């Protein structure tokens, strides 16, 4: 039996994470740069009523136990007792990591961390994805429904981020029913990034137990290696394909709890009465695409030039119009047999 010394194991591991942080990450974690690439990641978000949403974004901590003493204070955050680094990632609905920042001190909050996200900064400045077009429905002053073209993308976040139009959080306090429905639906969709963190830390226990290294740069390489492996395994298992299945937003469909949440705590009779009342309108007898009046060609809004309140109000109106026309669906993965 051949024994490998501890020093040899450390050298091998160092070579592995160096390879993973360069080749694996650069190969499998590729941020979309063109509208064609972005549309592939936005497919499920569009089904759920969030047109123009690229994915979900949040930050997580990775423990670095043997952090250098001089860097200890800035790497001690309020969430963990150990020193740690924070990573901000963007994922699509299929749990694929689209972009990740490098490691930053865990004392930094999301508002500070997002300022160092180069991918998000390129979107905000208009360097990339500024020519991506999507359509939102909205009401005119006369109550008509029009389709307005928007350029750019936006991302689902929580309320810990800056008030940018491209990082849209749910409402903290809702004044209307449609705002509550929109926020609850967003919370369900935003769980994608939380699920990705759970998958990463359960699949790669070093991210959960902590990185034993004095050099904080090692934790950065370990994280990027695991992100590359995660995306590679998604492709290998066939889980990176578009979720073409869907569960319709029918009030009578009790098979989907997420759909039923949109209808609140109404009793069955009240829901049935609302449906009969809604069936009397023209939006059910005639498809929405036939009653929508196209907006003027020169009416094009850029997401990055709007305020958060303006952008969120337009998204709520669009969601409300689709919801009352039964146009909101919950994306569902279509299981396909693996080819041998």
- Each residue of 76-93: pLDDT tens digit? 888 878 888 999 999 999
CA distance 178 to 181: 5
Q: Which of 153, 124, 165, 166 is CA-nearest to residue 308?
A: 165
Q: Give the pLDDT score at 5.
A: 62
Maximum CA extent, the chain: 83
Q: Give the pLDDT score at 45.
A: 92
CB 163 within 8 Å of CB 300: no
* Ranges of H-type helices in 204-279: 205-209, 216-236, 257-261, 268-279
Q: Is the pLDDT of residue 289 over 60?
A: no
Q: Which residue has the higher pLDDT, 127 or 332?
A: 127
Q: Which of 48, 94, 45 is CA-nearest to residue 262?
A: 48
* Mean pLDDT computed over 120-136: 93
| Cβ neighbourhood burial of 208 (10 Å; 0-12, 13-18, 19+) | middle
Lowest mean pLDDT among 79-93, 153-167, 183-197, 321-335: 321-335
* Ranges of H-type helices in 146-215: 177-189, 191-203, 205-209
Q: Give the pLDDT score at 7.
A: 58
* Ranges of H-type helices in the chain: 6-19, 25-28, 35-41, 43-47, 110-113, 118-125, 177-189, 191-203, 205-209, 216-236, 257-261, 268-279, 282-285, 288-291, 308-324
The pTM of this model reads 0.81
Residue 152: partners with Cβ closer than 8 Å, 6 or more residues away:
52, 123, 129, 130, 132, 166, 302, 303, 304
CA distance 166 to 120: 9
Token representation of residue 163: 């008030």
Confidence class for position 152, pLDDT limits 50, 70, 90 = very high
Token representation of residue 220: 């950065």
pLDDT tens, residue by residue, 261-275: 555 544 334 334 333
Token representation of residue 281: 């309108």
């Amino acid at each position: 039996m051949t024994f490998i010394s501890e020093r040899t194991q450390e050298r091998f591991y160092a070579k592995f994470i160096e390879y993973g942080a360069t080749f694996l990450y650069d190969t499998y974690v590729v941020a979309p740069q063109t509208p064609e690439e972005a549309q592939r990641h936005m497919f499920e978000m569009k089904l759920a009523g969030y047109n123009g949403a690229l994915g979900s974004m949040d930050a997580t901590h990775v423990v670095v136990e043997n952090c250098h003493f001089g860097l200890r204070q800035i790497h001690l955050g309020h969430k963990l007792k150990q020193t740690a680094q924070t990573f901000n990632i963007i994922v699509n609905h299929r749990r694929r990591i689209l972009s990740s920042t490098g490691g930053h001190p865990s004392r930094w909050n999301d508002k500070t961390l997002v300022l160092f996200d180069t991918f998000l900064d390129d979107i905000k400045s208009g360097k990339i994805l500024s020519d991506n077009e999507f359509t939102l429905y909205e009401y005119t002053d006369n109550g008509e429904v029009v389709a307005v073209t928007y350029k750019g993308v936006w991302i689902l976040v929580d309320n810990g981020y800056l008030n940018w139009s491209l990082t849209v959080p749910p409402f903290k306090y809702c004044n209307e029913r449609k705002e509550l429905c929109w926020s609850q639906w967003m919370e369900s969709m935003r769980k994608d990034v939380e699920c990705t963190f759970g998958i990463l830390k359960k699949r790669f226990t070093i991210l959960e137990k902590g990185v034993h290294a004095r050099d904080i740069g090692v934790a950065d390489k370990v994280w990027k290696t695991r992100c590359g492996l995660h995306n590679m395994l998604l492709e290998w298992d066939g889980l990176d394909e578009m979720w073409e299945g869907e569960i319709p937003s029918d009030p009578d469909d009790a098979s989907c709890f997420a759909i039923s949440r949109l209808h609140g705590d109404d009793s069955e009779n009240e829901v049935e009465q609302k449906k009969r009342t809604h069936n009397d309108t023209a939006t059910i007898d005639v498809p929405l695409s036939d009653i929508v009046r196209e907006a003027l060609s020169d009416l094009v809004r850029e997401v990055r030039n709007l305020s958060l309140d303006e952008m969120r109000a337009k998204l709520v109106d669009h969601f409300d119009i689709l919801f009352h026309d039964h146009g909101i669906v919950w994306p569902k993965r279509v299981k396909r047999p693996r080819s041998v």
